[in-house]
Structure 1
């Protein structure tokens, strides 16, 4: 008597045929490889930092003529905003041109400290011959 061995039929995994299982396995391996490459790029693996040398900041080098400057130009200075800049221009319009930089002390809310902080930004007023 011959024993009959029926051919074993492999059970489908997740309900997929053998070719589908092969395709799905290949696809998952490809996704895994791409994910590892992407994570490697995010971690900057294999790169060296670059040192960037920058120049020092230069101080502002400008001066304004207090008899011609607009309130916007005054507002750029230390401790002088738009309100005080407009007040300086209004004072100049009402009382005439300033004779010296120290005449700015006559404007309300400008004291010696604020004037001395900004003195380097004012052009000297030329002395007019009389």
Structure 2
């Protein structure tokens, strides 16, 4: 009969370690949801809000297109107006862009970085 690779004490140690490993795996499986699982159905997942800020004087049109109610065409107009009339001094300067009114500006404002003249106006 061949000699075993491990003696009885070593076999007992390996068996104990295997049992502990299985117990840890079982606990993890139960915490992870067991048989029911907790997989996220991407169509049913709650949207994760993200906040972003845009500098009107440096943003490219794809960045501006991320603003609420601003698509590619309006974003390109914002950039075109900036290139033809110079940098925006205040957020109110956006009203010069065709397609932007007070309501749209108010919806965009939380995502616009302050401009130097905006802070001076706010202080008065």
TM-score for the superposition, normalised by structure 1: 0.55
Unpaired stretches in structure 2, ≥5 consecutive residues: 1-33
The separation in 2 between residues aligned to 1:104 and 1:85, in whole angstroms, is: 11
The separation in 2 between residues aligned to 1:107 and 1:66, in whole angstroms, is: 12
Greater percentage in helix? 2
**Aligned position for 1:121:** 111
The separation in 2 between residues aligned to 1:59 and 1:51, in whole angstroms, is: 21
For the aligned residue pairs, the C-alpha RMSD in angstroms reads 2.7
1:30-109 matched pairs, under 5 angstroms: 48-51=35-38, 57-109=47-99
The structural deviation recorded for 1:58 is 3.6
Per-residue displacement from partner, 1:37-94 (whole Å, max 9, x unpaired)?
xxxxxxxxxx9423458x9644221101001111111111121111111111000100
Q: May I ask how many residue pairs the two structures share in their alignment?
A: 83
Higher gyration radius (CA): 1
Secondary structure of residue in 1 paired with 2:83: helix
Unpaired stretches in structure 1, ≥5 consecutive residues: 1-46
TM-score for the superposition, normalised by structure 2: 0.57
Secondary structure of residue in 2 paired with 1:76: coil
The separation in 2 between residues aligned to 1:80 and 1:73, in whole angstroms, is: 10
Secondary structure of residue in 2 paired with 1:98: coil
